[in-house]
Structure 1
Amino acid sequence: MNLSPKNLIVKDKKSVLDYLLEDILNKTLFGDALAILKKIPSESVDLVFLDPPYYLQLPKKQLKRWNVKTSVDAVDDDWDKFESFEEYDTFIQSILEETRRIMKEKAALWIISTYHSIHRIGKIMQDLGYWMLSNVIWLKVNPMPNWLGVRFTNATETLIWAVKDKNVKKYTFDKTVAKKYGVGKVGANVWVMPLCTGKERMKNEEGKKLHSTQKPIELLKRIILTTSKEGDVVLDPMAGLGTTGYVASALNRKFIMIEKEEKYIKGIQRRFAEKLHIDFEKEKIRKNIS
C-alpha cells in the first residue's frame, strides 16, 4: 500500500458534522478522539484497537530510586492525568459507546491496559453489552527494573478481546496464527515479547523517547493477523505514533487513526515518510508466520 505522508493527516474541523467513510480510509484524523468518533459512520469498521490512558495515579513529586537516588522515567504525560476515578470512567465509557456503534456486526475490539485500570475498563465494557471472548497477557521480556524492591516486578499488560454482544458468533479468528504466537503447544493466551526498544523506538530531537508507551509492531501484528482479514478496516482512536496504521497497511488492511497530540502527528508523518522499520513490511511479516 503506497501511502503519501502529505495526504495522511486530516485535521478535524468543527464545521464537519459527519465523515464519509471513503474520505477517512487510510487517514489519521488530527483532533479529539471522542469528537471525531461521533462523526464516523455506524457499523463501518472490522477491528478496533484501543490503547487508552492507563491512569497510573502517580504522585506529583518526582519518583526517585531509593538505592541510587536517580529519577524514574515514568509516564508523566498530561493525557494520563484525571481528577478522579469517576472522570476516568466517564471518559472510557464515552469512547467505548462510540466504538461499539462504529463496529460492524461481527467486528472485534481489543483494548490494552495495566493493572491500574484494566478491571475498571472490563466492567464498563460488560455494562455496555460487549461480550468478552478472551484476555491475553503480554509478558514483557525486558520490563522496567524493579528498583524499589517493595512489589513484584511489573512485567505484564492485559489485553481484552471482545465483540459487540453475546449473540455474535462468526467473528474472525485465525486459530493457526493464534496457536503460533501463544505459549506452549496449545497456544495459550500469553504473548511473550519485548517492550518497544532500539531502532523501533521513535525519539525526539533530544534523543529521548517520543512517546511514553509506544506499542511494539509485533503486538499489533499479532492482533491484526489473528482477528482480521485482508481488506478489513482497522480503527485506532488513540493512535499515538501510528503503529496500528503502519502494521495494518503492511498487512493489506485499511485503517483509520485518530490522534490529538501534534508531536505524535508529526511522528506518524515521519514514520510513514521514512518507512521506518522497513523490515516489518508485508513480505517479512508474512514470512514470519509461514
Structure 2
Amino acid sequence: MVVGAENLEFLPSLPDGAFTLVYLDPPFNTGRTQRRQQMSMVRAAAEESDRVGFGGQSYKTIKGALASYDDAFADYWEFLEPRLREAWRLLADDGTLYLHLDYREVHYAKVMLDAIFGRECFLNEIIWAYDFGGRSKRRWPSKHDTILVYVKDPDGYWFDSEEVDREPYMAPGLVTPEKVARGKLPTDVWWHTIVSPTGKEKTGYPTQKPLGLLKRMVAASSRRDDWVLDFFAGSGTLGAAAAALQRRFVLVDQNPEALEVMRRRLADHL
C-alpha cells in the first residue's frame, strides 16, 4: 500500500504493534549549522517517566536548549522525535527499527533512540560502506552511511540469519570448500555499491537506496506475510524489497514525485 500523506498526520491511524519491521531514511539535515544541544536524564516516578533504564529504574527525558538548525527544518530534532516515538508504538513486540542516517546526525539520533526505546534495546550500528563520488584532500573522504538498529523487546525480537544473503570469503583458501560455496554471513559493515546512475535499478529519485540493502534487512527481521513500514518512503525501495520477499508493506510520503515513482515501480504489487 502506498499512501500520499504527511506522515505524522497519518501514522496515528495505524494500530499499535502492526509492523515487524520499520525502516526509516529521513532527511539527513545536510548543511545545517549546529549551535547547541543539551539532553539529560533524571530519575522520576513511574507515572511520570517516559523510559525504563537499567535495573528497572524509571527515567524522564529532560531536554534543554535544543539546537537551532538552518537546513530544511527550523529544528530537525523537534521534527524527528515524534516520528521515532510513532515508530516505537507501531513496532510489534518482536519488531525491529532500522534508522538510516549519515555522520552529521547519527550520534544525536543514538541518544534520542536510547531515550525512546531504552539502551538495552540497541541491537546494532550497521555501517554501509561504498566507494563513489569525490575525494577531499583536506580530510578523510566520507564514504559511508550509518544504520541504527533497535528492537522493541531485547529478549523477543525476530532475527533469521538463515534467510540473509551470503558474502564471499575474503580468504577462501582458509575455509572448507563447503563454506566457500555457501559464503559467510555479513557482519555489521556492509560493502555495497550505490545505485548505478545508468543501471536498471535506477528510478531517477535522488535519494534512492540500493535494493540489496533493504532486502537484507527485510529477510533478517521479518517473516513471509509480515507487515513492514517506511514512512519516509521516497523511491519505495522498502516496498520493492518486501514484494520480492513476499512481505506486505505500507509506504508513506507526501512528495508527489516520490508517489509517482513508487506507483510506477510497484504497479504489479499494489
How has the CA–CA distance of structure 1 residues 122 and 251 changed in structure 2, closer, same or farther, with 3 Å as cutoff? same
How has the CA–CA distance of structure 1 residues 182 and 114 changed in structure 2, closer, same or farther, with 3 Å as cutoff? farther
Partner of 1:196: 195
Q: CA deviation at 1:111?
A: 0.7
Structure 1 stretches of 4+ with a deviation exceeding 3 A read 176-179, 181-187
Among 210, 216, 223, which residue is 1:222 paired with?
216
How has the CA–CA distance of structure 1 residues 152 and 45 changed in structure 2, closer, same or farther, with 3 Å as cutoff? same
3-state secondary structure, aligned to 1:200:
coil
Q: Residue 143 of structure 1 aligns to which amino acid in structure 2?
A: F
What is the root-mean-square deviation of aligned Cα atoms in Å? 2.1
For the residues of structure 2 that align with 1:242 and 1:88, how far apart are their CA atoms? 23
Asked if 1:104 corresponds to 2:92, the answer is yes
Matches within 5 A, 1:270-285: 270-273=264-267
Partner of 1:281: none
Matches within 5 A, 1:103-252: 103-130=91-118, 131-140=121-130, 142-146=131-135, 148-164=136-152, 167-178=153-164, 180-181=166-167, 187-197=186-196, 198-203=199-204, 211-252=205-246
For the residues of structure 1 that align with 2:162 and 2:127, how far apart are their CA atoms? 19
How has the CA–CA distance of structure 1 residues 187 and 264 changed in structure 2, closer, same or farther, with 3 Å as cutoff? closer
User: Once the two structures are aligned, what percentage of the paired residues are identical?
Assistant: 28
For the residues of structure 2 that align with 1:42 and 1:153, how far apart are their CA atoms? 42
Asked if 1:257 corresponds to 2:239, the answer is no
Partner of 1:10: none
Does structure 1 conserve the Cα–Cα contact (< 8 Å) formed by 2:96 and 2:150?
yes
Does structure 2 conserve the Cα–Cα contact (< 8 Å) formed by 1:93 and 1:124?
yes
5+ long unaligned stretches in structure 1: 1-26, 60-79, 204-210, 276-290
For the residues of structure 2 that align with 1:274 and 1:250, how far apart are their CA atoms? 11
Q: Residue 191 of structure 1 aligns to which amino acid in structure 2?
A: W
For the residues of structure 2 that align with 1:195 and 1:179, how far apart are their CA atoms? 18
Does structure 2 conserve the Cα–Cα contact (< 8 Å) formed by 1:43 and 1:105?
yes
Asked if 1:49 corresponds to 2:23, the answer is yes
Q: Deviations over 1:245-289 (max 9, x none)?
A: 1110111100011011001101111112389xxxxxxxxxxxxxx
Asked if 1:89 corresponds to 2:80, the answer is no
Does structure 1 conserve the Cα–Cα contact (< 8 Å) formed by 2:164 and 2:185?
no
How has the CA–CA distance of structure 1 residues 186 and 31 changed in structure 2, closer, same or farther, with 3 Å as cutoff? closer
3-state secondary structure, aligned to 2:266:
helix
Partner of 1:14: none
Q: CA deviation at 1:180?
A: 2.4
Q: Deviations over 1:152-207 (max 9, x none)?
A: 1111111111112xx5312111223458259865642111110011221113xxxx
Asked if 1:266 corresponds to 2:260, the answer is yes
Does structure 2 conserve the Cα–Cα contact (< 8 Å) formed by 1:181 and 1:191?
no
Does structure 1 conserve the Cα–Cα contact (< 8 Å) formed by 2:239 and 2:266?
no
Q: Residue 124 of structure 2 aligns to which amino acid in structure 1?
A: S
Scaled by the length of structure 1, what TM-score is found? Answer: 0.69
Q: CA deviation at 1:82?
A: 2.0
Scaled by the length of structure 2, what TM-score is found? Answer: 0.74
Q: Residue 171 of structure 1 aligns to which amino acid in structure 2?
A: Y
Partner of 2:12: 38
Does structure 1 conserve the Cα–Cα contact (< 8 Å) formed by 2:132 and 2:194?
yes
For the residues of structure 1 that align with 2:32 and 2:156, how far apart are their CA atoms? 42
Q: Residue 273 of structure 1 aligns to which amino acid in structure 2?
A: A
5+ long unaligned stretches in structure 2: 34-70, 171-183
Q: Deviations over 1:15-50 (max 9, x none)?
A: xxxxxxxxxxxx111010111112111111111001
Partner of 1:29: 3
Q: Deviations over 1:114-146 (max 9, x none)?
A: 000111111110111241111111111x32121
